[in-house]
Structure 1
Amino acid sequence: MTENNDTKPKIETESTENTGLKEEYAYLDRGGFSSEKFKIELRGLPKFYGIAELKKLMNQKLGLNTSKIKRPKNGSHWLFACFQNEEERSKAITALNGFSWKGKTLIAEVAKPAPDPLVRKRKLEEEGTGPDKKKGDENNKSQEERLKDATIPYWNVPYEEQLKLKEKEIRNILMKYDNEVWKINKERRDEIEAKRKLHNGLSFDLKPIVPSPVIEGYRNKCEFTVGIDDETKKPTVGFRLGSYVTGTVGVAPIQSLNHISDQTKKAVLIFQEFVRKSNLAPFSPADYSGYWRYLTVRHSKFNGEIMLIIALHPQALTTEELEKLKADLKEHFNSDETAACGIKSIYYELIIKKRVGEDGSKPIHLMGSTHIIDVILGRQFRISPEAFFQVNTAGAEILYQNAIDLSQTTSDSTVIDICCGTGTIGLCFAKHCGRVLGVELVSEAVRDARANAELNCLDNCEFFAGRAEDALPSVMARAGGDQLVAVVDPPRAGLHMRAITQLRNTKKVKRLIYISCSPASAVKNFVDLARASSKTLRGAPFTPVRAVPVDMFPYTKHVELVVLFERESEATLKSPSEEDVNITMDDNKEINSKDEQNTEAELDVNMVQNET
């Protein structure tokens, strides 16, 4: 923990030692914005708090304007908060220093910026004390092996063994969930113990992991970095060997990686050829110079069509120079080689560091089709540059079919597809239920979902834009009937607590399918779904019945998990204990503060419907 109140370390230029120190902080004066430049250290934080909760305090209640919050690895009661300029930083220190929050008095001070990790690493290596000097056998690995270790850590593990490792990890995660529920639901401990005897140590049924139908070249989307290959010293389109914070900026070619298709690799080489013959250097994260940033390749497994999204930093290029560059790109990709590779759609994107409150850049169509088409369970889906689509198409069919089978939907069921994206899950459910209502934050994805429903001639699906926690009350009210099945496929961080609360309090939802790409992160949601009823969580808890792990990412440590939750009978409910009330008291305050926003969310949903 630093106690230094200086914005920068004091640097004396006379000595060689201080000259080296100056180099470590030279990045602060290069003109580009760095979150390290206007940083504060915030100490005295309470034992239990969330980053989202802290941001709400700082930005909404205190009217501050944080650009980033950094929690150090070795501390939970202190962290760094970054701002855009000195005025905003000073305002934050004045507001936070001495402020009482959750019974704790906060301490806010100017924080010393971190040294440039790349410069520091090189300096240590010159002195013979760098981290690479201490790695032993790791330092003897080839670049290809290091790349495989970073991207597909199970590259040298037989597939059957990979499945065993993933199945073991899932069991460990679910046991943590079970133990947490056992701790907070004292009156149910005997019941949990009895179920564990039936299900091999868990209180519910865990099915064997389902293998991926395809294990080689399965990825339909990859984002590649443009940089310099440490071995050839040439501009290369590939993957970074490490992060900048570890002092690594080198990019390695991807031809040896077996989870990327040959067609994608060819597309990468075609673009790499253009980068190398251009007079524009790759972007350098060390000094913010250069142009080429990254290349995203989307590959339809249905018809082999490929979409490219080319991203660059324009630096000081004039409008005329940018137009010339676009014309050169069109000429380069208007070739027999491009056609043979299946490249059908090309976008470009200008990447400039955005300020707080500004919208990020968007891909701009350059040539070819505006979308490519892929297919899951017989449904066609148009894929736009930013659309979410499972990266393993064949695996997605297995994943969604398991979700459908677990749901036990009928023609009388209404499926509420939460975090629906471009509608892939809901549209696959459509022929197995009476109606699908989807909710998604990203309005562009909602437009794609509606287009996909039309593409598949489905008239029992509706999609609405809005945050799940805000839009759910209105969408649930539209559902009608008593057979509601919720399907949840949230981002890695999981659902907001208010969305969990809406699901708990909508008693017509009897069954819930939770699909998670990060089961460890989803455990908190699982626990809140199963928590005993309280003043906030008024509806009966959801109890897990069956879980199915599906391997969507061969050669990596990641695995998808589908869990069926069923609502307990109201007859089994007991009055909430004092402990339960205390646990949810803060959430209750947050829900009450959102009552007026729910009405506003309903208006938003109606407006979206009218746009249709």
Structure 2
Amino acid sequence: MQKNEIYETVITGMTDEGDGVGRVEKMAVFVPYTLVGERVRILIVKVLKHYAYGKLLEVLSPSVHRVKAECPYFYQCGGCQLWHMDLEAELEYKKHKVEDCLNRIGGICVPVQPVVMAGDQKRYRNKAQFPVTPEGIGFYRRNSHTVIPIEDCLIQGEWNQNIVSAVKVWMQEENISPYDEKMQKGFLRHIYTRAGNNGILVTLVTNGEDFLQFQSLKEKILQAEPRVIGITQNINTKATNVVLGQKNKTLWGKDHVTDAVGKTAFSISPMSFYQVNTTCMQSLYEGAAAFAQLTGREIVWDLYCGIGTIGQFMAERAAKIIGIEIVPEAIKNARENAKRNRIENTEYYCGKAEILAPKLAAQGMWPDVVILDPPRKGCDERLLKTVAELAPKRVVYISCKPSTLARDLKYLTAAGFQAEQIRPYNMFPRSAHIETAVLMSRT
């Protein structure tokens, strides 16, 4: 097999990233935009030692689950992977992905429950990040840092189109330079929006502090989108692809939005972690609370607690919630949220969970239930070791990456825990990502 050769193959599987997998000359070939069972014609674009990458040229025998992609940018933009697949197949693919990772990596054979689908497949995101580059404002092309200008993203709120259009006009009128990642020059790096039930917060990420033309921008944004309640500036002067810097300034209005999960309200600032799909988040938290089996007497550790969402959602069912989070602004929000919700049985600590957890245990704050909701990289092994030593009755693990979930569950299984229930949630429709909640109990 050589690069630029054309072959026919049958797609027999799918990767974690949503690509189809075929075989050519006994070698696996990964082909985006294909579905299991399809016969396709492909162009080989890259050949490595044990596998290759192909470009879809033609679908010769389409799957019954293939649909016309509603998004006009789907075959260019890297944001979504599954617009060509119907919902039935999407949910089955994600369930199988969780099963495969847990079995293959974690050695866990507990049946995975059907994927929970809560809310809409479109317009579900409450957060958007638009890179601003010399090529335009939009999203990154698949597997690149080249930006595709996009007028409207179908999984984002429609207000983003109004805000981005206003910023474009302002940049042209005021001669504002977009950030050039290669040259490390230019003023405006990203447009970042968060929506709550009280309005929209716009954050402008800039390569420098001076914002002399802000007044004209504010007028344009508010005229284009009256639901905006605050505009903030985030300063990021580092040569990095990390979106947000460490310094925030409130330019106008509020520096946060508020949102509610059930009857619990939360203040959300630009730096805070908050699930992007509010409707599905409520289903996830209700499921996690059921897994925790709280009776009102338990001490619950909420590790990687963010702004306190899941712990405060469960607070009325527990004796005490202890939250740990590394982001200072999120801990500030968590404390404010507890006060806002008149929740008095919470304590929050700022720092790395793997460092603070052993110290709290040494002070006698032993948990009955531990909630783990780490970032995509999963839990630090030191934290898993501490959790195992504390031996809580139950661990509820919430994960956005099945492979790291499987790795961590393997560790906890070896330490004496057993997976009892596994339930995926379709937090990110049309993408290959999946959220999963797992209940583990002591054996």
TM-score, normalised via structure 1 length: 0.58
The residue identity in structure 1 corresponding to 2:213 is L
Aligned pair 1:348/2:348, yes or no? no
The residue identity in structure 2 corresponding to 1:309 is T
Deviations 1:385-408 (A, max 9, x none): 101100001110011110000111
| Alignment partner, residue 464 of structure 1 | 349
| Alignment partner, residue 55 of structure 1 | none
Alpha-carbon distance between aligned partners in 2 of 1:387 and 1:136, rounded to the nearest angstrom: 39
Alpha-carbon distance between aligned partners in 2 of 1:549 and 1:469, rounded to the nearest angstrom: 26
Alpha-carbon distance between aligned partners in 2 of 1:412 and 1:447, rounded to the nearest angstrom: 26
Decide which of 396, 412, 417 is 1:529's aligned counterpart: 412
Which SS does the other structure have where 2:82 is aligned?
Answer: coil
| Alignment partner, residue 211 of structure 1 | 117
Q: Assess if the C-alpha contact under 8 Å between 2:260 and 2:266 holds in 1.
A: yes
Decide which of 263, 276, 281 is 2:172's aligned counterpart: 276
Query: What are the residue-to-residue correspondences of 1:202-601 with 2, within 5 Å?
Result: 202=109, 204-229=110-135, 236-242=136-142, 246=144, 249-255=146-152, 257-300=153-196, 302-303=197-198, 305-314=199-208, 322-333=210-221, 335-339=222-226, 342-353=227-238, 360-477=245-362, 484-507=368-391, 509-532=392-415, 541-568=416-443
Q: C-alpha displacement at 1:212, in angstroms?
A: 2.6
Aligned pair 1:173/2:101, yes or no? yes
Cα distance change, pair 143–546 in 1 and its aligned pair in 2 (3 A) = closer
Alpha-carbon distance between aligned partners in 2 of 1:517 and 1:563, rounded to the nearest angstrom: 12
Query: What are the residue-to-residue correspondences of 1:51-70 with 2, within 5 Å?
Result: none
Cα distance change, pair 516–465 in 1 and its aligned pair in 2 (3 A) = same
Q: C-alpha displacement at 1:312, in angstroms?
A: 2.2
Alpha-carbon distance between aligned partners in 2 of 1:461 and 1:136, rounded to the nearest angstrom: 53
The residue identity in structure 2 corresponding to 1:500 is L
Alpha-carbon distance between aligned partners in 1 of 2:56 and 2:348, rounded to the nearest angstrom: 55
Cα distance change, pair 463–345 in 1 and its aligned pair in 2 (3 A) = same
Q: Assess if the C-alpha contact under 8 Å between 1:395 and 1:551 holds in 2.
A: yes
Q: C-alpha displacement at 1:360, in angstroms?
A: 4.3
Q: Assess if the C-alpha contact under 8 Å between 1:418 and 1:468 holds in 2.
A: yes
Alpha-carbon distance between aligned partners in 2 of 1:171 and 1:409, rounded to the nearest angstrom: 27
Deviations 1:402-443 (A, max 9, x none): 000011111111111011111001000101111111111122
The residue identity in structure 2 corresponding to 1:396 is M
Structure showing greater Rg: 1
Q: Assess if the C-alpha contact under 8 Å between 1:413 and 1:484 holds in 2.
A: yes
Which SS does the other structure have where 1:381 is aligned?
Answer: strand
Higher relative contact order (CA 8 A, sep 6+): 2
Alpha-carbon distance between aligned partners in 2 of 1:404 and 1:207, rounded to the nearest angstrom: 17
Q: Assess if the C-alpha contact under 8 Å between 1:264 and 1:299 holds in 2.
A: no
Alpha-carbon distance between aligned partners in 2 of 1:547 and 1:158, rounded to the nearest angstrom: 24
Q: C-alpha displacement at 1:331, in angstroms?
A: 3.9
Alpha-carbon distance between aligned partners in 2 of 1:402 and 1:254, rounded to the nearest angstrom: 36
Cα distance change, pair 479–448 in 1 and its aligned pair in 2 (3 A) = farther
Please, which runs of 5 or more residues in structure 2 have no aligned partner? 1-44, 47-53, 59-68
The residue identity in structure 1 corresponding to 2:146 is V
| Alignment partner, residue 57 of structure 2 | 137
Alpha-carbon distance between aligned partners in 1 of 2:430 and 2:250, rounded to the nearest angstrom: 34
Which SS does the other structure have where 1:146 is aligned?
Answer: coil
Which SS does the other structure have where 2:213 is aligned?
Answer: helix
The residue identity in structure 2 corresponding to 1:484 is D
Q: C-alpha displacement at 1:447, in angstroms?
A: 1.1
Cα distance change, pair 441–480 in 1 and its aligned pair in 2 (3 A) = closer
Q: C-alpha displacement at 1:242, in angstroms?
A: 4.2
Alpha-carbon distance between aligned partners in 1 of 2:312 and 2:318, rounded to the nearest angstrom: 10
Deviations 1:74-97 (A, max 9, x none): xxxxxxxxxxxxxxxxxxxxxxxx
Q: C-alpha displacement at 1:466, in angstroms?
A: 1.7
Higher strand proportion:
2
Alpha-carbon distance between aligned partners in 2 of 1:346 and 1:284, rounded to the nearest angstrom: 23
Alpha-carbon distance between aligned partners in 2 of 1:205 and 1:565, rounded to the nearest angstrom: 14
Alpha-carbon distance between aligned partners in 2 of 1:249 and 1:228, rounded to the nearest angstrom: 10
The residue identity in structure 2 corresponding to 1:503 is V
Q: Assess if the C-alpha contact under 8 Å between 1:512 and 1:566 holds in 2.
A: yes
Q: C-alpha displacement at 1:207, in angstroms?
A: 1.3
The residue identity in structure 2 corresponding to 1:272 is K
Q: C-alpha displacement at 1:237, in angstroms?
A: 2.1
TM-score, normalised via structure 2 length: 0.79
Which SS does the other structure have where 2:419 is aligned?
Answer: strand
Cα distance change, pair 323–398 in 1 and its aligned pair in 2 (3 A) = closer
Q: Assess if the C-alpha contact under 8 Å between 1:435 and 1:460 holds in 2.
A: yes
The residue identity in structure 2 corresponding to 1:213 is G
The residue identity in structure 1 corresponding to 2:420 is V
Please, which runs of 5 or more residues in structure 1 have no aligned partner? 1-129, 182-201, 230-235, 533-540, 569-612
Q: C-alpha displacement at 1:178, in angstroms?
A: 4.7
Q: Assess if the C-alpha contact under 8 Å between 2:137 and 2:147 holds in 1.
A: no
Q: C-alpha displacement at 1:238, in angstroms?
A: 1.1
Cα distance change, pair 250–216 in 1 and its aligned pair in 2 (3 A) = closer
Query: Number of residue pairs matched?
Result: 378
Which SS does the other structure have where 2:332 is aligned?
Answer: helix
Which SS does the other structure have where 2:212 is aligned?
Answer: helix
Query: Which range moved further: 273-282 or 432-441?
Result: 273-282
Aligned identity (percent) is: 27
Q: Assess if the C-alpha contact under 8 Å between 1:440 and 1:466 holds in 2.
A: yes
The residue identity in structure 2 corresponding to 1:502 is T
Alpha-carbon distance between aligned partners in 2 of 1:152 and 1:136, rounded to the nearest angstrom: 17
Which SS does the other structure have where 2:75 is aligned?
Answer: helix
The residue identity in structure 2 corresponding to 1:252 is P
Decide which of 88, 107, 115 is 1:160's aligned counterpart: 88
Runs of 4+ in 1 over 6 A off after TM superposition: none
Alpha-carbon distance between aligned partners in 2 of 1:443 and 1:364, rounded to the nearest angstrom: 16
Q: C-alpha displacement at 1:222, in angstroms?
A: 1.1
The residue identity in structure 2 corresponding to 1:329 is L
Deviations 1:533-564 (A, max 9, x none): xxxxxxxx111111111110000000001010
Cα distance change, pair 480–264 in 1 and its aligned pair in 2 (3 A) = same
- What is the CA RMSD across the aligned residues, in angstroms? 2.5
Cα distance change, pair 379–143 in 1 and its aligned pair in 2 (3 A) = closer
Alpha-carbon distance between aligned partners in 2 of 1:448 and 1:478, rounded to the nearest angstrom: 25
